[in-house]
Amino acid sequence: MYVDSHCHLTFPELQGRIEAVRAEMAAARVDRALVICTTLEEFASVHALALRYDNFWASAGVHPDNEGVEEPTLERLLALAREPRVVAIGETGLDYYRLNGRSVADMAWQRERFRVHIRAARASQLPLVIHTRSASADTLDILREEQGGAAAGGPGGVFHCFTETAEVARAALDLGFMISFSGILTFRNAEDLREVARFVPLDRCLIETDSPYLAPVPYRGKTNSPAYVPHVAAQVAQVKGLSVEQVAEATSRNFERLFRLPQPETTP
Ligand code: NI
């Protein structure tokens, strides 16, 4: 019924308990998940989950926050994009939140890494999983320059764990991206974000956990799990005046459309 469009099952909090996570998912009717890669060093373990379980898929990419890791080349990303069950490039993007004493100008390496991912997504026609924090103007500019959006004939993709303003959401939608909401949407102080969720068209919404982080209310502060994504769906449903079933159905169809996956034969 539900899909978690973004989780990190190879992070230490979850990696040792995959079978328990899968049992929790089944009990919560979370049928499918996209397991996200954040370093090339991590790719093999992310990919192994997608190869082992037919309701997991994998992405390939290097998160903008990761330094001191192998730098992805276009060729390397394209090789990973050709692997079976790899359905997305990312997560990639820009993050100026932790500059650690550097200036935005010093982050040229991050912008170049982002461009390499967009070029890989264009060449492979796999959608992008975008992370942006304190950097939305540059994120949007680079996506325009590199023609990453579906509206420009690019692969499109999703702005994951969306926490930006309505203006940024509009710009991302105009470029042809989907918007994914996480457990942050359930936080008491997230009224502005709930306003954004109210206007993002249902056929452009995804839901995610970003587990093991950002557990939704009532699990806030605990280790997150894909099994908690129904709490995000319920919050989207509430702000849009829909049933949770409608949100589960729409976000599942959106997930299939974006990542070009078949609709499951038995949809509860
Ligand atoms: Ni993530």
Q: Please check the confidence at residue 262 and state whether its pLDDT lies above 90.
A: no
First to last CA, the chain: 6
Per-residue pLDDT, 147: 97
Phi, psi of 65 (to 5 degrees): -75, -15
- Whole-number Å distance, alpha carbon 58 to ligand 1 midpoint, is 12
- Whole-number Å distance, alpha carbon 106 to ligand 1 midpoint, is 23
Q: How many domains does the chain have?
A: 1
Is 267 part of any domain?
no
- Whole-number Å distance, alpha carbon 88 to ligand 1 midpoint, is 13
The number of CA neighbours under 13 Å toward the Cβ of 228 is 25
Is 96 part of any domain?
yes
Q: What are 184-215's pLDDT values in tens digits?
A: 999 999 999 999 999 999 999 999 999 999 99
Is 175 part of any domain?
yes
- Whole-number Å distance, alpha carbon 74 to ligand 1 midpoint, is 21
Cα–Cα distance measured from residue 187 to residue 181, given in angstroms and rounded to the nearest whole number: 12
Kindly state the tokens that stand for 186: 């359930």
Is 240 part of any domain?
yes
For the domain that residue 32 is a member of, what is the CATH number?
3.20.20.140
Q: What are 11-58's pLDDT values in tens digits?
A: 999 999 999 999 999 999 999 999 999 999 999 999 999 999 999 999
Q: Please check the confidence at residue 267 and state whether its pLDDT lies above 60.
A: no
What's the domain range around 210?
2-259
Provide the CA 55 distance to its chain's centre, in angstroms: 16
- Whole-number Å distance, alpha carbon 8 to ligand 1 midpoint, is 7
- Whole-number Å distance, alpha carbon 90 to ligand 1 midpoint, is 9
Q: Please check the confidence at residue 265 and state whether its pLDDT lies above 90.
A: no
Is 91 part of any domain?
yes
The model scores a pTM over 0.85: yes
Is 253 part of any domain?
yes
Is 66 part of any domain?
yes
- Whole-number Å distance, alpha carbon 264 to ligand 1 midpoint, is 25
Lay out the sheet containing 86-95: strands in order across.
Answer: 2-7, 30-35, 56-60, 86-95, 128-133, 157-159, 177-181, 205-207
Phi, psi of 78 (to 5 degrees): -65, -35
Q: What are 48-102's pLDDT values in tens digits?
A: 999 999 999 999 999 999 999 999 999 999 999 999 999 999 999 999 998 999 9
Per-residue pLDDT, 264: 82
- Whole-number Å distance, alpha carbon 7 to ligand 1 midpoint, is 6
- Whole-number Å distance, alpha carbon 35 to ligand 1 midpoint, is 9
Binning the chain into helix, strand and coil, the percentages to the nearest 5 are: 45, 15, 35
H or E segment to which residue 194 belongs: helix 191-199
- Whole-number Å distance, alpha carbon 14 to ligand 1 midpoint, is 14
- Whole-number Å distance, alpha carbon 243 to ligand 1 midpoint, is 27
- Whole-number Å distance, alpha carbon 157 to ligand 1 midpoint, is 14
- Whole-number Å distance, alpha carbon 210 to ligand 1 midpoint, is 5
Cβ neighbours around 59 below 10 Å, total: 28
